[in-house]
Amino acid sequence: MQKKNYLECGIIINTHGVGGDVKLESLCDTPNILASFKKIYFCEGGEYRAVKVLRASVFKSFVIAKLEGVDNMDKAMALKNTTVYAARADFKLPEGSYFIADLIGLDVIDNISGKVYGRIVDVQNKGASDIYVVSTPDGERMMPAVKEFVKKTDLERGVYVEVIPGMLYD
């Protein structure tokens, strides 16, 4: 599976003030990660265009940013609902962590028998841990992405699991 060079990291949800600042909802693990980028990217017609972040800070659970070339409220308003991206190389991913974009589409495989239960179609986080949403022949199932169940993640082959009855199959 080919890795994406640019990953979704936020959505411009509104303007902030009259000077052209934008308010972003972070799609990163924390808003601090989004606020740390020195440049972000807009995707226009399949091409990524870099935009320098002049300043950014976390406000509540959002990021307020001043972007180069966005110097008034009208320009900021024109960006509302725009998804922003970061270069994969700009992320500092902790050991043993993976990008959601890399997990989506991976097979979920029994660690012992090699049986393929299904494919990861989404990753959600409701607080305690990530939850893999797995498309199986019996419909979508949810599985906590914890070491008790996830034994190995191989981004080329799949996620190897040991599950309890009823989790991914009837």
- Report pLDDT for 12: 98
Query: What CATH architecture does domain 100-161 belong to?
Result: Roll (2.30)
pLDDT at 1: 61
The answer to whether the beta carbons of residues 96 and 107 sit under 8 Å apart is: no
Residue 17: what pLDDT? 92
* Domain positions in the chain: 6-88, 100-161
Q: Which of 125, 114, 122, 105 has its CA nearest to residue 152?
A: 114
| 107-110/39-44 β-pairing | unpaired
Residues of the chain with pLDDT under 70: 1-2
Cβ contacts of residue 103 below 8 Å, gap of 6+? 120, 123, 132, 153, 159
Quick one: pLDDT at residue 63? Answer: 98
- CB burial readout 67-104, b (16+ within 10 A) else e: beebeebeebeebeeeebbbbeebbeeeeeeeebebbe
Q: pLDDT of 145-170, one tens digit each? A: 999 999 999 999 999 999 999 898 87
Domain at 6-88, CATH homologous superfamily: RimM (2.40.30.60)
Do 69 and 21 form a contact (C-beta atoms < 8 A)?
no
- Rounded to two decimals, the pTM is 0.83
* DSSP run (H or E) holding 76: helix 73-78
pLDDT of residue 103: 96
- In the numeric block, which tokens belong to residue 82? 């725009």
